[in-house]
Amino acid sequence: MTTTQPDPSAVHTDGGAYIGGSVTTGGGDFVGRDQVKTLYQTQEGASAADLVKLLAEVRALLPQAGLDPVSAQAIEGDFRIVEEQAAKPEPKRGLIKSRIKSAMELIQDAGKSSDALEKVVTLVGRAAAMAAAIF
């Protein structure tokens, strides 16, 4: 019985581009496939109440975002923790930031694209920037 060895020069990219040589971007990004960037606006002068209000906005959009029920429930739990901490005189800053980050990761892992989901991503990004400025 004869076995064949795979061709070592073959490149399997799962649909992405293959560049065999070097690439010069002149300082910008080179993306072969699937780059996601989220830009956050700074939120100077924001308060904990502003953060809670923003999370309420996100909550109103979640049903239209097409998230699976388990992710939506986890995001709700993350937001509840953020709101509880924001109401305390000495909130746990790391907990607030990690719960917002967790919510963002769940939203981005949804793998779907819709206008409502894009708006949710934008608003949670604003919440992350706001939390960083406040706490």
pLDDT along the chain (135 residues), means of 10: 68 69 69 57 75 94 90 95 95 95 90 82 93 90
Please give the pLDDT value at position 31: 66
Measured CA to CA, the distance from residue 44 to residue 129 in angstroms comes to 9
Please give the pLDDT value at position 15: 66
Please give the pLDDT value at position 6: 67
Measured CA to CA, the distance from residue 3 to residue 5 in angstroms comes to 7
3-class DSSP state for residue 48?
A: helix
Indicate the domain borders of the chain. 48-134
